Amino acid sequence: MSEELKPESYFDHDADIGIIGRGKTLEESFEDAAYAMFALMSDLSLVKETQTWHFEFEEDDIELAFVTWLNLLLALSNASESIFSRFEIKKSGSHWQGHAWGEAWREDLIRGIDVKGATLSMLSVKQENGIWQAQCIVDV
C-alpha cells in the first residue's frame, strides 16, 4: 500500500481541558470540580439559583463516581437547557445523591466553552495532606 493510502490517519487538535476540584472532603472536591467545569460554560456569578435538580447513582469506585457525577450534571444541563452554579453531592457507601442549582439559559448569559463530557483521561481522585483532589480531562 502506498504512503498516501495508509488506512490510519491522525490529526492534532486542542479539544480538551483539565479540571481540578479540591476540598476538605471527597464530596467538596467533586463539587469544586463541577463548579470549575460549569465555569467554562458561562460566568456563574450571573446565574440565578431558581431551580433545583436532584439525581442519584450507584458506584463503588470513587474515580468512576467522579466521572459519572460530572457527566450526569452535563446530561441534566443539556436536557433541561439549563446552567448550574451550585452543587452538592453526598456519598453513603456506594450510593451517591447529587443536587444542582441554577436556571434555564437566558439570552443575556454569555455562553463560553461547550463542554461535551468528562473523560477517563488523567482521571485521579486522591487525598494528600488532608486535602482531597479530583481531576480529569473534559472534552470541549
Parse the chain into domains and list their residue ranges.
15-129
Q: What is the DSSP string of 59-94?
A: -S-HHHHHHHHHHHHHHHHHHHTEEEEEEEEEEETT
Nearest Cα to 49, choosing from 89, 87, 101, 98?
101
Domain 15-129 has CATH 3.40.920.10: no
User: CA 94 from chain center: how many Å?
Assistant: 19
Q: Write down the pLDDT at residue 11.
A: 59
What is the arithmetic mean of pLDDT over 37-48?
A: 97
pLDDT, mean of residues 94-104: 98
pLDDT confidence tier of residue 6, bands split at 50, 70 and 90: low
The whole-number average pLDDT for the span 31-50 is 97
Q: What is the pTM of this model?
A: 0.90
On whether the CB atoms of residues 88 and 111 are closer than 8 A, the answer is no
Instruction: Give the pLDDT confidence score for residue 1 in this predicted structure.
Output: 44
